[in-house]
Homo-oligomer: A and B are copies of this chain.
């Protein structure tokens, strides 16, 4: 059991002084947030891989999903596990760090070093908690653009991401069309569906139902709503998989025993798997960040920002798009990707669309699916040739 002081200190260090480079923005460079707040000071934590070429034309921005972070291709400083897309990004890999300068930043509202609800509120010296303004996908992208500016990059070669990362890709292409040469939105949608909002709301209510949440001020009390956050993660995790993947992986197999225990122990393998997912998640993620980042996804509706017509978001875009979906993804089904492709076609943007056969559900985008990797490699290769990157 950690002492109250240790819990607060560890969360604060992770939020304020992460094991990543940090770009700090002072009172002269506030972040204009959609909630109407000018956030200052603020900071963004990021990782880079490879080198920027002399033309500054080979930068690839990777956007992470709900519970991801900037550690996309290096060992994670908290969990000790490989980067979450290390199979895709690295020397000789589909996104080849021998050729490209890869950037990945923790999202605004996150808990791995970019300013969020666990960061210190300079006005109080305490964690922001719910005093942090609500965050949107637009805010996340605006923050990334300011980082990219500071890194001296005018135009990105590519912006790539899956799920919430894909929402950021779409937002990038809509807000900064001239700064995005190629865009790869994967397993995503241009707006969050009612069902997805519903699942997020259940997760948030699970966090808020935990008395250790303390109205969002848990860090002041040296506690964390671990139980509620674990329940939220367990529920979300089911939605990341497919029925057939769960059946293949676990079926109705019992955990280390021949017959059911006739108790509420984790009799079935799927139960102990989910409990493990819940427990390990809370060690690396802040509960308030979970509230903020799920809310950002719920609010996302790119067409609404453009008078209700999604094509309006991409009008005149010269960005080349590669839209990818997975057959068994029921969180962001292929119909969501098709809606993006239709809008891009209506906006006369160059787009290729691939629906990849996979039974692994939404999580397929994080896995080494040959169809996915081949598609990305081919698209990136052609785009690099078009941009004249050696």
Contacts and interface: CB of A to CB of B under 8 A. Distances in A.
Nearest to A206: B231
27 contacts: A36-B262, A134-B263, A191-B252, A192-B252, A193-B247, A194-B243, A194-B249, A194-B251, A195-B246, A195-B247, A197-B270, A197-B271, A198-B270, A201-B234, A201-B271, A202-B234, A202-B238, A202-B274, A205-B230, A205-B275, A206-B209, A206-B231, A209-B209, A235-B235, A243-B333, A267-B298, A268-B298
The binding surface of chain A is classed by DSSP as: helix
A35 to B, nearest CB: 4
A25 interface: no
Contacts of A243: 193-195, 330, 333
Contacts of A262: 34-36, 133-134
Contacts of A231: 202, 205-206, 209, 231
Contact of A274 (B192, B201, B250, B299): B201
A371 interface: no
Interface string A277-292: 0100000000000010
Nearest to A135: B262
Number of this chain's copies in the complex: 2
B263 A194 contact: no
B201 A230 contact: no
A211 interface: yes
10 closest pairs, A vs B, by CB?
A209-B227, A194-B246, A134-B262, A35-B262, A202-B235, A195-B243, A198-B238, A201-B271, A194-B250, A202-B234
Contacts of A35: 262
Q: Give the most central of A202, A266, A267: most B CB within 10 Å.
A: A202
A303 B289 CA distance: 45
